[in-house]
Structures are given as C-alpha cells and as structure tokens.
Structure 1
Amino acid sequence: MGPGITMNSMSYIDRGNKSLAFFLANAGYDIWLVNWRGTRFSRGHVTLSPDNRKFWKIGFHDMAVHDLKTITNLVHAETGRKAIYIGFSMGSTVGFIYNIREQKSAEKTLKTIIHLAPIARFDHSTSLLKYLSPLWPLVRPLIMIIWNGEVFPYNKHSTFFCRPFPFQIKLCESFLKPFFGRNLQHTDPLTYPITNIQNRDSIATGTIDHYAQIIQSNRFAEYNYGVIENLKKYHQAKPPLYEFRELTLPQIMFVGEQDIMATIEDTRKIYDLIPKKSKCGYYTLKNFDHSDFVISKNAVEVYYHKLLSAIQDTDSGRCRNN
C-alpha cells in the first residue's frame, strides 16, 4: 500500500478499524506498508544524509523504478506470491510508472494495481495547486535556503492550530478544500486530530518539480532536464511520455465525484487509454473528494466493501471491465 504526497504509511493505519489496512487485514490479507523516500520512516541512504541537498533531488520516477521495484521484489521473495498494489494519489502515479517502465519486474511481482484518486493528468483539475504551479520556480529557491530541499519537514507541533476543538478542525479542513475538494461532510471529528498529526510528512523538491512540469506541459512524461540534457539522457529534445497503452497488469480505479485534483474527467480519460485486457474496473464514489480516501468517517460504507470485492475478484482471476 503506497501513500500519497506529503504522507506516510500511517495514513493507512492510524484510525484503527476505520483504517483501510486494518479493514483488509481483518478480511484475511497480509498487508505491506510503503513509506516513500524522505518521509520520517524512510530517511536512510548509503551515502547521502537528509541534510544534503542531493538527497532531495528524488522524485516519483525514482520511487517507481527503484523503491517500489525493490519493495515488490522483497515481498515476492518473502511470500513467494504476487501482491496486489494499492496506491493513493501520488502512490498511484508511482504505480503507473512502475508498470510502464519496469514491466518485467511488475509482471513478476504484482497481480493487479489498484488506484485510489489516481494522479497523472490535470486537464480538468480545478485544484489550487494547479494554478499555483507556475509560481513554483519562484518559491523553490526559498525552499532550498530554508529547508535545504525538504518541503514541509515533519513537525508534530505544526498542526497545533488544527486541534483539538471542532471549529479548529473545520477551519483547517476549509483551508485544504481548494486543493482537494469541496466536501466537508465526511470529516471525522474523532480521528481528524490524529490523522492531522500522523499522516503529514516531508516531500522532496524533486517530486514537486516533476509534478509542476507535468501540469505546465500537459504531458505525463519523464523529468525535463532541458533540451541539451534531454538529448544526452533520452536522445530526444522532449522527455518521453509515460504511455498508458503500455500498462500490462490489470488496473482498477476508484475516483471521488467531488475530487478536484484527480477529476472524473481526467481519470476516465486515463482509463480509456489503458489496453482493454488491463481494464479491470472503474468506480466512482458519490460525494467523495481527494482526501476522503484516507480521512472519511464513512469510508467503510462508501468504498471499503467495493474495494474488497474488487480485490477478491482480481485475486480469483476475475476482471470487471467497465
């Protein structure tokens, strides 16, 4: 299970039985939790320290072709079985790239990829992040000076203003809605103070660089190093696209109707580009926005059971092509 951007694996477990990992574990599944490079649970490196700017040049391409590849190979070696990968938000971006760029490894170690609020296109996104992306080149130098390339370093005290009273929760959630969606009815006042502290984590400048490029170019492509470096690395002026038609594993998508980041229009476009043999289900969730996938008090009723049914189908070799 791969978490989203600025998140760690706590997002799958820190709400007890309301958490997706516990729900699936109670259904009998063995759960392996991923923590992307740079989060507080994954800061080790053979030669680089998190205090070194080079440590933060990593992006989701690296997470796909190195980190997720290594993780799935480990799980396969330990269990002797193919796993089902579930990726939320950026975790889905990583899943797409892993299957596209590392097909042999993905086919050897994975049975299916399930995308929750998949991020790869921003054509119809109305998220404030999309409109702020042109400003990123101006903000980036300040990030390098202040945090040395680490964006939003984890600090449990940084969420002080979002807890513990209901009006504080609503205020902070209202602040986030222009980025992720317009729905407040799913916010869980009992667990929000916990998720607000536990889920949030660091992200690398390299990851934001890459997303900003995708938004500005309107191309789901590899990192753009500039024409000269692109010619050296890719042997072409523009970075190569990640082609959805090259996906080989069964793909299942869950999308929130009120998600303004991973919109229904964009995710449906992605699903339509996937080869027919790899289409295994496209599900829309009523009144769900982007963050609801990990914080909704109604997650069990709205999508956990649908997700479990989809997992059981694909685990048995059945595929719902819709």
Structure 2
Amino acid sequence: MWTSLSLWLTVTVICTTQQIGYISAEEFPEDAALDSIGLATKYGHPPIQYNVATEDGYILAVYRLPGKGKRPPILCTHGLMDSTDTFLIRGYTSLPITLADRGYDVWLANTRGNRYTRRHQHLDPDTDPAFWNFTFHEMGVYDLPAIIDLVLNETGANNLTAIGHSQGNTIYYVLGSEKPEYNSKINVLISLAPMAYVHNTPLPVATIIKLTPIITTLVKDLGLHELLGDTTALGRIAHTLCSVPVIGYTICAYGLLYPLVGSDPTELEPEFFQNLAPHYPGGSSIVSLLHYLQVGYRKTFAQYDHGSEINQKMYNSSEPPVYQLARVTMPIALYTAANDGFSSLADVQLLRGQLPNVVYYLLSPRLICNHVDYVWGQTVSYYLYPFIDIMLDRYNPL
C-alpha cells in the first residue's frame, strides 16, 4: 500500500510541476507569496515582531498590530499545523485586520513547530528529534504563558482578550488547568471551533481515531517527527499540488479538506484556495496530532499517553493525568457549528458541561459552517463578527 501511495504522490508532483511550468506568474495571487508580515503590511497594519523564548527554550514569533486607537489587547492563537498566516489570509475582512481598524491592539501568536517557530536555543529541528517531542500540552504550559506575559508587559494591561481557533483553544484549557494563576489574565476566551473532546466526531475522522494504535506504531517505525512542515516531502507536495488552479482545488479541497472539516465550497472558493495553499499547512509535530487521536481513542481529555512504563516515570502513574477543567475559571464563549467535522456539537456540549465559567454559547447561524470557516470563510464578517462583537463589547468597554 505504501509503495503504491509513494508512487502516486511522485507522479502527482511530477505532473503538477510540469503544469506549473505552463502557468504564468500573473495567474497566482499576490498574497500567496506573502508571509504574515507582508500580509499585515499590505492590509494597512505593518506589524511589530517579537521573538519570545519559552521556559524550555523554544523561540516563538509574535506579531503585534497596534491598531489606530487605544483599545485593550487581543491575542489570537491558531490551530494545528497552522500559523499566524491563517488569521490574515482574507485580507481586509480578516478578523485581526478588522479589529486593528477599529483601534484594538491585536497580537498574533505562533506556537512552537510551525514555519515561524522552527527555532530553539539548543535544539536543531532538522537534526534533533527531541525538538519535535511536544504536543498541545507544552503549548499550553510553556508557549502561552510566555506570550501572555509578553503582551501584558508590553501593553501594561492587567489582562487580555483571547481569540482561539481549534487547537488555539485547547491550549487555553490546558493553561487554565495546569497553571490556574493565568485564569485571571484572560478577561474572556472567545473559542472558535473549540477543541478538547473528540469523542463524537463524524466519519472519516472517527475511523482515523479508531486506527490510533496502528498510526502510532507506524509513526514510530518510520521515525517521523515533523508534520507537514515546509521542508518535509509531504509539506512540499501539499503546497505545490494545492496551488495549481482547478486540479489543486479538486484534489485538495474536495478530496482532502472537505471530508475532514465539513464541506462548504461557497465559503472557500477556488480563487481563494489557490491563495491559501502556500500558507497551509504550516507544520507542527506529529506527536501533537497523535495526542488528539489519543483523546478520542481513550475517551479522556488527558496528557499524552507514552505507555505505562514511561507514564510511571513521568507522571508517577501508569495512566496520564486528566486535565482538571474545573480549574479553568476564565470566562469562555463557545462558538460552534453544525457542519464541523472535528469539533462536533456533542463534543462541545461535553466540554460546556465541564467548564465552570461558560458565559456565552453560539451555534453558527450558517448551517453549513465548517471547522475552518471561522478564519477562512468568504462572508464570515457578516455571520460571525457581530457575535464576536457581543463579547468584545461586554469585556472591553470603552
């Protein structure tokens, strides 16, 4: 099977590369070639870059869009295999650009392991497998505290508003559970596509979760560490293939993305997808993906399961510790969608019942809103932003 898959991928890349040779540069949108700094600058907010070091040595790129007024700081955190690009790729209608236009002090965080954070004080991501030995747990325990402290120190604010997408919410649940002193530093967490439990995911994600032991063994046997990074073979294939007009959209959107996140082609039109493809995926660790699969397979929102022997050494228990969501006392607004292939309504309701301070719950008025529409949707400013404003106005009054 793997030989056939490799052959198919090789042929696909060769054919794609040949087709790209016949495509003029003018056919590719300008934004496809811009990084986060270039995108923010193009749309009116040249960012300030900060490089913050975590307690365990990772160096994270954080971007600040100071806005045009004196509104409180807002911190945006991205999802798995993603980067700050995701929040800017819609240009003028992107959420951070919209908020900065209104005068908010917007901060965009890159968590460890993506294209902007493949850096460490001692470890080389290309030669040291230890660099990739992290999951969303380390992002919540190390990355978020370092970033939050940076924002509060630079702004002089007592707390901030957090806006997370997907994994960008998971890490706050970890933070509030493991470092409860940080709860008071978040005046509200706006959770877009909340991710914690993955017990009730639809097909095909449910099938992938059932294969967790096989996938874990395969990853170990193949010695895989980085997940779809820019320099990995699969990462290069994804960026190359998905950038091709028509063919890329058909294969990558209809063949790969929509079956996983939920189909909504009118919100993710072909022209935009060609623009998006070079930016996503942005890379992460394979272990981070395995951690989510474990949560679904073990039916427990807990720390990473290394196996009973290693667990005993790390946790002083044969089982990994369960995250204590009762400690997550920060105000949280949950924004859900009925067509979300990862964050199902049933799982969000399970999370809602465990969190002690849910202050708002929204089921998207767009019936086919999927997992990525929150950040990539063509008309998201109409059906989502007004409901985000409700929380912003409540917790950030002028």
| TM-score, normalised by the number of residues in structure 1 | 0.90
Please state if 1:117 is matched with 2:193.
yes
Match of 1:268 in 2: 349
One of 144, 153, 162 as aligned partner of 2:242? 162
Deviation for aligned residue 1:167 = 5.7
**What is the correspondence of 1:17-32 to structure 2 with a 5 Å cutoff?**
17-32=92-107
Match of 2:135 among 59, 81, 94: 59
Letter in 1 for 2:297: Q
* Structure with more relative contact order (C-alpha pairs < 8 Å, separation 6 or more): 1
Q: Determine if contact 2:205/2:341 at 8 Å carries over to the other structure.
A: no
Paired position in structure 2 for 1:246: 327
Whether the aligned pair in 2 keeps the contact of 1:59 and 1:207 (CA below 8 Å) is yes
Determine the structure 2 residue equivalent to 1:86: 163
Structure 2 counterpart of 1:180: 261
Is 1:237 aligned to residue 315 of structure 2? no
Whole-Å separation in 2 of the counterparts to 1:185 and 1:5: 23
**In the alignment, does 2:174 pair up with 1:104?**
no
Contact 1:153 1:201 in 2 (8 A): yes
- Give me the identity figure in percent: 24
Q: Pairwise mapping of residues 1-322 of structure 1 onto structure 2 (< 5 A)?
A: 1-51=76-126, 52-81=128-157, 82-107=159-184, 109-133=185-209, 134=211, 135-141=214-220, 144=223, 148-154=224-230, 155=235, 158-166=238-246, 168-175=248-255, 176-275=257-356, 278-285=357-364, 286=366, 287-316=368-397
Q: What secondary structure is seen at the aligned counterpart in 1 of 2:113?
A: coil
Residues 171 and 225 of structure 1: CA distance in aligned 2, closer, same or farther (over 3 Å): closer
Name the aligned partner's letter for residue 11 of structure 1: T
Aligned counterparts of 2:386 and 2:271: Cα–Cα separation in 1: 22
| Cα contact 2:188–2:395 (8 A) shared by 1 | yes
Q: Structure 1: which amino acid aligns with 2:147?
A: I
Structure 2 SS opposite 1:191: helix
Letter in 2 for 1:195: L
The structural deviation recorded for 1:272 is 2.1
Unmatched tracts of structure 2, length 5 or more: 1-75
The 8 Å contact of residues 191 and 333 in structure 2, kept in 1 or not, is answered as yes
Deviations 1:140-198 (A, max 9, x none): 13652xxx511112156633333453464244211211211132221133422122211
Which secondary structure does the structure 2 equivalent of 1:280 belong to? strand
Equivalent-residue separation in structure 2 for 1:168 and 1:226 (angstroms): 40
Cα separation, 2, equivalents of 1:316 and 1:61: 33
Q: Aligned partners of 1:143, 1:126: CA distance in 2, in Å?
A: 28
For 1:140, give the aligned amino acid.
V
Query: In the alignment, what sits opposite 1:320?
Result: none
How many pairs does the alignment contain?
311
Q: Which runs of 4+ in 1 moved over 3 A?
A: 155-158
Give the alignment's TM-score, normalised by structure 2: 0.74
